[in-house]
Amino acid sequence: MPRMRPIAQGTAWRRFAASWVWLCLALASVSATALSPSKSISQFAMDTWQTDAGLPELAIQAMVETSDDYLWIGTQEGLARFDGAQFMVFDHVNTPALQSDFITSIVEDGDHSLWIGNEQGLVVRQADGTFVRFGAEQGFPLPRITMALGDSDGSVWISGRGGLAHIVHGKVERVFGETDGFANDFIGYLALDSDGALWATARGHLHRIKNGKVENFSTADGLNGHPVSRLFTSRHGDLWVLSNGAGLFRRNGEKFEPWWPNGVPEGVHIRDLLEDRDGNIWVATDANGVYRTWQDLLSGTTSEQGLSDLGLQTLFEDSSGSLWIGTLGRGLIRLRDGSFTAYTKTEGLSADTVFSVLQDRHGDVWAGTLNGLTRISIDEVHRYSRANGLSGDYISALGDDNAGGVWVGLGGTGLDHLANGKVDRHISLKPPMPTSTVTAVIVDKQGRLWAGTDGAGIARIVGDKVDYITTQQGLPENFVRAIAEDAHGAIWVGTNGGFGKVEGFGFDVEALHDDELSRTAILSVYVDDHDTLWIGTLGHGLWRYSGGHLTHYTMHEGLPNETINSILTDTDDNIWLGSNRGIFRIKRGDMDDVAAGRRTTLDVSRFGQADGMKSAETSAGAQPSAWRSSDGHLWFATVQGAVVVDPNRVSAARRPLRTFIESVRADDKSISLHSGAANLPSGTSRLEIRYTAPDLMAAETTHFRYRLDGVDNDWIDVADERTARYANVPPGTHRFEVQARRDNEGWSGAATALTFAVAPMFYQTWWFLAVCAVMLTGALWIVHHLRVKWLHMRSAVADERRRIAGEIHDSLAQGFSAISVQIEAALGRLDRAPDLAVSHLKLARDVSRTSLSEARRSVWNLQSPPPSQTSLVASISAACEQIAYGHGASMSVQARGHAWAINPAAENHLVRICQEAVANAIHHGGAAEIHIDAMYTFNQLVLSIADDGAGFDPSDVHAAPGRGFGLVSMRRRAAATGGRLDIASARGVGTRVSVTLPRIAMLNRLFRVPRAS
């Protein structure tokens, strides 16, 4: 923001008074949303944007506010979209459709398409955000555009070299040119009047198109014959014609009459003319800045603000009433109004930094500064200083004498009393301490004068008698900051190091019984209409003392700042606090609710530069730093002037914010948003989402919060940050939501969402995971399979051991016992009966032979090779014939049906079952014939071993020694194959053992967990 130029003080306040005071009276009811005519132009907040803020170039050619609340700016080096805070630039590099960056005109049509005219023709930005060249292919003949103008029906008019085109719903409706009656085919400026007729210039001639016919206006119609250079319309559609940059004409019926805005010097070069919604006519000039007239009266110029030599190009009033000024070489300027009006040196104050402000009984407002005292009255601004009678220039405090006069506290020199514009009394303080800067002055109900000093305590002055209350009388500090008298006449004093009450000639620092308050540096003390005592501190928030209760308000309760420089209440029971971070307004009811514990935080409205203050920082340390004037307006001393606000006019509702996602960048590459959902490449590590909520009035008061589904658990509150950054967003579809609110508003607005998909890396894809899962399952299966196999093996080994143990016990041990006994018998009879001994020995021999054959069988069973895959029957034959061998039993093995493959483990079990059954048949049943039959069907195999032996009672197998073990073993083996073992037997009829093996078991077995041994 350019520094304001110092002005000649004598003329400044006169101009200020002439315009401001008069207009104040005349315009009491003007809407607050526009630039108030009652303010001087310098009282508007002025902001400037140049290339360092993101503007593509300093020469502004065209401006338009679109229906989505953005401001579009055409410069000589590109197009910019502005949301109030940031510019997004479109040029031929990032938007090839533009071809040329020299933008001449921009307009939005009724379909929300943006028409951009430039040196190379016309480009349309469609509602979805894509830029498309609009040229010969679309039947549009203009190679170079001068002006684009929107009609009330949503169509657009485009003028330029080659004629005038009317475009309706994106199609060229008609092209006008020389043949239609224009002076030539190079059509210049355009304007629409209140009748809906289009006016255009061509080769300096003025034309009107009415009912499709081109008319020509000339000197006969009141024009001066000079070439017509520009056309403007008033807010009501009246046509103004600028002739050759100087002469202005106003249309009056079918005639033109010369007209010149009052107060604007003759001969200035007018570049643009605009009538705002309040009827102010703003005149932008080539080299003389901006003039403002109202009711044909000059109401302000910017000549004193450094705008004179900027080469103003174009003016634009946005929907919020701010005025935008495009310059030729200094960028973009905004003038905006706020609820607050600031008075600074420009308006005639002695200095910009105001310490104290006060209204006297006559209604005049006094502002004390470091450089003198200023009185603002209805018809003049008057400054007081040492030059015109004050004892000093440093005004350190002001006090109302309750009689129309003012007590003025002076740095280092005591007190002056001003009445009727003259110093009529001076009190020189000669305190015990070597200082006498007065920081606070009050006159109490008894007429006593109290003066707080910066280092010498309090001086109480009655008549000519001055008494001091200092640390010796109990004052916690001799640096006094504020003095106030409550409704009962008690004098409350805030010092640099505590707060308390004057008691007689002493001081009660414990009056409020609060240790923290007793030690805190106090900046302001205020007694309101309800006799509530408010105490503002340096960095410790606000205290309230009401009805004997003390309440402390800090940032925890919602105060935006804990240094409270000034305190006021308005007539609507709002508390106003001046701080270093703006002025806060809080409902008194909220304060009560927090004090009573009914709510935890305060709703704080916050005002700052966006509201018309020149600086958000208020002044402190000199009393009074704020004052409520008799008309209810609130004055605050700030470091940039005195500001005043009408509390009844601050709550102008603004348009709800609309949030937009502007761009998405993945790893610094821009992602297209035109197709609705964005697709991000795989492996995106950095994601940047730029969003905004356009607010041309006060973008600095906008707060955002956002969240990304699956990444953020909750909303991320980011204040005014307009870019969200994420690292390593997981693949999948995500939803990004962003919401905006203004200061003092809740998160009530609709959130804007962006759905995008992050493509997964190969290792993040479902198929990769599926493959992994399959492989893992496979590995687990293999492990399981091996384990099962191992368990089977172990189980088989255990079976074998048990079988051998059983066989040894059943046959070998018995055999050896028998042999042993027979040999004992033989030995015993060897002498007495050798024949008998011989028979015993023969028996022993027979038993040992039998046992040997048993042992051989056991060993055979142990050593027999695993059955081959080739034939189950062959394996069974080979195994069982060995057992039957030498026992005289006949054995047959046969297979029926179509044999199918059996897995080796199962085949082994089957062979062993056959062996066991055959062995049982021979050894226990004494069978003579054994038939083994394997019958295959499609579904199952039935293997049966039938003998003609003794048989047994299957229900009593345990009673049959030797058989029990074998049967259990066979059952186990049958179960292990997945089959079933059946035994049919009865004493005397033989035994039939059969195994039924379902074919499916060949599959199932793979997944069976063997029964634990």
Partner 1 sequence: MTMAAMKTRVMIVDDHPIVRSGLAAIISDQDDFEMVGEAADGAQAIALFKAQRPTVVLVDLSLPDMDGIDLIATLNRNGASAYFLVLTTRTGGDDINRALRAGAHAYLFKDTASEELLAAIRTVAQGGRYVPPVVGRRAEQLPNATELTTREREVLLWLARGCSNDAIGEALGITTETVKSHMKSILGKLGLKSRSEVVTVCLRAGLVHLENL
Which residues of this protein are in contact with partner 1, per CB under 8 A?
Answer: 795, 798-799, 802, 805-806, 809-810, 813-814, 817-818, 820-825, 827-829, 832, 836, 840, 843, 847, 958-962, 964-965, 968, 972, 1011-1013
- If the CB atoms of residues 843 and 928 are measured against partner 1, the closer one turns out to be 843
In whole angstroms, what is the distance from residue 976 CA to residue 1009 CA?
10
CB of 969 to partner 1, least distance (A): 8
For residue 819, the minimal CB distance to partner 1 (Å) is: 8
Instruction: Give the CA distances from residue 858 to residues 800, 867, 934, in Å, rounded to whole numbers and listed in that order.
Output: 10, 17, 25
- Phi, psi of 823, deg, nearest 5: -65, -40
Residue 718 or 823: the one with the smaller Cβ distance to partner 1 is 823
Q: Distance of CA 763 to CAs 131, 218, 496, 683, 770, Å? A: 38, 78, 67, 10, 10
**Distances from the Cα of 199 to the Cα of 210, 238, 859, angstroms:** 9, 11, 123
CB of 780 to partner 1, least distance (A): 23
Nearer to partner 1 by C-beta: 741 or 840?
Answer: 840
Token output for 68: 């989505």
In the bound state with partner 1, the residue whose beta carbon lies nearer, of 247 and 806, is 806
- How far is residue 672's CA from residue 678's CA, in Å, rounded to a whole number? 6
Q: Which is nearer to partner 1, 308 or 822 (CB)?
A: 822
- Judged by beta carbon, residue 875 or residue 969, the one nearer partner 1 is 969
Instruction: In angstroms, give the least distance from the CB of 1001 to partner 1.
Output: 18
| CB of residue 1010 to partner 1, shortest distance in Å | 9
Residue 831 phi, psi dihedral angles, 5° rounding: -80, -50
A 10 A CB-CB count for 785 gives 12
Which CB, 631 or 831, lies closer to partner 1? Answer: 831
Q: Which of 261, 267, 252 is nearest to 282 (CA)?
A: 261
Q: How far is the CB of 839 from partner 1 (least distance, A)?
A: 9
* Residue number with CB closer to partner 1 (773 or 959): 959
Q: Residue 816 Cβ, how far from partner 1 at the closest point, in Å?
A: 8
Tell me the C-alpha distance between 290 and 129, whole Å: 35
Under DSSP, is residue 678 helix (H, G, I), strand (E, B) or coil? strand
Number of helices (H) and strands (E), helices first, in the chain?
Answer: 11, 70
Q: Which residues of 16-47 are buried (b: 16+ CB within 10 A; e: fewer)?
A: bbebbbebeeebeebeebbbbbbbbbbbbbbb
Least distance in angstroms from the C-beta of 826 to partner 1: 8
Taking the least distance from each CB to partner 1, the nearer of 725 and 809 is 809
Secondary structure (3-state) at 312: strand
User: Phi/psi class of residue 348: alpha, beta or left (left: φ > 0; alpha: ψ in -120 to 50)?
Assistant: left
State the first-to-last Cα distance of the chain, in angstroms, to the nearest integer: 92
From the CB of 972, what's the least distance to partner 1, in Å?
6
- Give the Cβ contact number of residue 216 at 10 Å: 14
CB of residue 821 to partner 1, shortest distance in Å: 3
Q: Which is nearer to partner 1, 709 or 953 (CB)?
A: 953
Q: How far apart are CA 253 and CA 44, in angstroms?
A: 37
Candidates 897, 867, 909; CA nearest to 1002 is: 909
Are 432 and 455 in contact, with CB atoms under 8 Å apart?
A: no
What's the closest the beta carbon of residue 871 comes to partner 1, in angstroms?
Answer: 30
Task: Report the candidate in 218, 119, 217, 110 with the shortest Cα–Cα distance to residue 167.
Answer: 110
- Least distance to partner 1 from the beta carbon of 806, Å? 5
Decide whether 370 or 823 has the Cβ nearer to partner 1: 823
Instruction: Give the residue with the Cβ less far from partner 1, 646 or 800.
Output: 800
Smallest separation, CB 882 to partner 1 (Å): 23
Q: How far is the CB of 939 from partner 1 (least distance, A)?
A: 26
Phi then psi dihedrals of residue 956, to 5 deg: -130, 40
Q: How far is the CB of 845 from partner 1 (least distance, A)?
A: 11
Q: How far is the CB of 850 from partner 1 (least distance, A)?
A: 10
DSSP state of 139: T
Nearer CB in complex with partner 1: 388/817: 817
Residue 887, both tokens: 């026992």
φ and ψ at 346, to 5 degrees? Answer: -60, -35
| Closer by beta carbon to partner 1, 348 or else 815 | 815
Specify the long-range contacts of residues 288-296, CB closer than 8 Å, at least 24 apart: 290/41, 290/315, 290/325, 291/261, 291/263, 291/264, 292/37, 292/41, 293/261, 293/262, 293/263, 293/264, 294/23, 294/37, 295/26, 296/261, 296/262
CB of 761 or CB of 986, closer to partner 1: 986
Write down the least CB distance from residue 709 to partner 1, Å.
Answer: 49
Report DSSP state, residue 564: E
What count of other Cβ atoms lies within 10 Å of the Cβ of residue 230?
Answer: 20
Of 378, 381, 380, 379, the C-alpha closest to 367 is 381
Closest distance of CB 724 from partner 1, Å: 59
Which CB, 681 or 961, lies closer to partner 1?
961
Q: What share of the chain is helix, strand, coil (3-state, %, to 5)?
A: 25, 40, 40
- Rank residues 19 and 851 by Cβ distance to partner 1 and give the closer one: 851
Query: Could you say which DSSP state residue 701 is in?
Result: G
Q: What is the DSSP string of 568-602?
A: EE-TTSEEEEEETTEEEEEEHHHHHHHHHTS-SS-
| Residue 476 or 979 with smaller CB distance to partner 1 | 979
